Amino acid sequence: QVRVVESGGGSAQAGGSLRLSCAASGSVYSGSTISSYCMGWFRQAQGKEREGGARIYTGTGDTLYTESVKGRFTISEDNAKNTVYLQMNSLKPEDTGMYYCAADRSYRCGASLSVADFRYWGQGTQVTVSS
């Protein structure tokens, strides 16, 4: 089965940086030879809904960012390590929340970023940004 594990969360000052890692294992294609997939990062702040931050389509490296993180966060993939990263720069207090990594088949990587597009989720890693 698919397993997703996040790491790298912690505390940072406003304007600082953190890098989150997401290690994935198992097949999202149930035995298919297709190697491409969609990986996304989401944030859920206290009392708020989980919202998308970024996603990457590994087949082409295509990325998508929501307006709140565009220009500050970068999603990338290390195929050799089967790991996706979220480099977070210029952090703001409003970036605080639980960050979740999600995975699914490549067709989920469309023009939007929704929790409904992903079936496999990690347990989350906490990010706290102070002013």
pLDDT digits (tens, 9 = 90+) for 83-107: 899 999 999 999 999 999 999 988 8
Beta-carbon neighbour count of residue 71 at 10 Å? 9
* Cα radius of gyration (the chain): 14
| Pair of tokens at residue 93 | 């207090």
CA distance 93 to 104: 30
User: What is residue 107's predicted lDDT score, i.e. its pLDDT?
Assistant: 82
User: What is residue 49's predicted lDDT score, i.e. its pLDDT?
Assistant: 96
Q: Which residues contact 32 (CB under 8 A, 6 or more apart)?
A: none
* pLDDT exceeds 70 at position 131: yes
Output the CA torsion sign for 26, 32, 36, 38: negative
Q: Which of 4-13, 58-67, 87-96, 121-130 has the lowest mean pLDDT?
A: 58-67
